[in-house]
Amino acid sequence: MDCIFCKILDGEIPAYKVYEDEHTMAFLDITQGTKGHTLLIPKKHVKNVYDLDDDTAATLFQAVPKVAKALKKAFNPIGLNVINNNDQPLQSVYHVHIHLVPRYDNDGMVLSTINHQDDVSKETFLEIQDAIKNALS
Ligand code: 5GP
Ligand code: ZN
């Protein structure tokens, strides 16, 4: 399969591995957005969050706090982002992965949400709530 992360799992492509268990593996992101930027992946090839089955999701997310705590202990960051990108143009590698990004003072990373609270009426909140609840049912 032409998947760069499957190749890392198979050892065909080298990576700086930091964690492995029966179902997951974590290794340093080649870009090192910040010091310690790590990717956590399931060993099962799954394209992205939309294709995750319950068991794979459970084992994948179970490993998140383990790696997060290790990054905190190793680098004492001021904070840490857990990020998962899905579909174009956000996702560049189509083997689902969780970014763990330790954050430091003035680290140059831009990642913040914009507060639209004042522009969103109660009716709109209710419409959005309904849309999501209907989609779930
Ligand atoms: P995405 O944009 O899909 O959420 O993130 C994919 C990530 O995979 C990027 O941050 C990129 O730096 C990383 N990446 C791509 N190819 C490789 C590789 O060969 N080795 C490692 N360690 N990381 C990679
Ligand atoms: Zn893969």
pLDDT in tens, 68-110: 999 999 999 999 999 999 999 999 999 999 999 999 999 999 8
Q: What is the pLDDT of residue 113?
A: 79
Residue 8 φ/ψ region, left for φ over 0, alpha for ψ in the -120 to 50 degree band, beta for the rest: alpha
| Domains observed in the chain | 4-136 (3.30.428.10)
pLDDT at 14 over 90: yes
Mutate which of 32, 82, 93, 100 to test ligand 1's pocket (most atoms within 8 Å of Cβ)?
A: 93
How remote is the CA of residue 54 from the centroid of ligand 1, in Å? 24
Q: What is the pLDDT of residue 124?
A: 96
Backbone angles phi, psi at 105, to 5 degrees: -55, 135
Which residues are catalytic, by number? 97
pTM > 0.85: yes or no = yes
